[in-house]
Amino acid sequence: MKQDETNEAKIEQLVFALLACPRIEDAAKSCRMSRATVWRLSQSPDFQKRMTEARTQLMSNVVTTLQANTLVFSQSCDDGSEPPAPTGGLSAAKKKTARRRRRF
């Protein structure tokens, strides 16, 4: 039973790391796991179920945020006023893109 609890905690940690990190190596490092352990855990049905649920929830949150932002923007355009200024998210994306370009 103790082993099952440990695996569940590792799976949960791995799911969040894989959602946050672009590469498996980065996710493994952030979880302090080897690639072999990541691969072994990723083969379990419990991991696959949790990963699917987490991705679905993440995408749902993204869609909801986009819909809300679109609504705010369209309402501001309807009343003739200036649209709201973009938030810091755009500049963060530009910085990330610039860092990726420097790698090549």
Query: How many domains would you assign to the chain?
Result: 1
pTM over 0.95: no
H or E stretch covering 82: none
Q: Residue 27: which domain range? A: 2-103
Distances in Å between the Cα of 6 and the Cα atoms of 13, 43, 94, 101 are: 11, 16, 39, 40
In this structure, what token pair is assigned to residue 101?
Answer: 């370009």
At residue 101's C-alpha, the angle toward residues 100 and 104, to 5°, is 100
Note the pLDDT of residue 104.
Answer: 43
Note the pLDDT of residue 89.
Answer: 56
Q: What is the pLDDT along the chain (104 residues), one digit of tens a residue?
A: 577 778 899 999 999 999 999 899 999 999 999 999 999 999 999 999 999 999 999 999 999 888 888 877 777 766 666 655 666 555 555 565 555 555 54
